[in-house]
Amino acid sequence: MPPQKKWLKKRAENLAGSIKTGLKRAAESCSPKRNRKKQEVGPGNSYEAIHEARVSAPKNL
């Protein structure tokens, strides 16, 4: 396979991964689970409280 085709194939695979990651992030940001976390923190709390809630959230989504 010529180098250009190898590069193009690899690039397509990488882009597909990026798209999947982007879609997953978009789904997480709109998910009810994430919205519930925001409600627990409350709109009147400080930035530090919001940041702490995000940091302490489970990472295995």
* Residue 25 main-chain phi, psi, to 5 deg: -65, -40
Domain boundaries, the chain: 3-56
pLDDT at position 38 is 56
pLDDT in tens, 51-61: 666 666 666 65
pLDDT in tens, 14-35: 777 777 777 777 666 666 665 5
Q: How far apart are CA 57 and CA 41, in angstroms?
A: 12
Q: Is the pTM of this model over 0.85?
A: no
Q: How far apart are CA 15 and CA 49, in angstroms?
A: 36
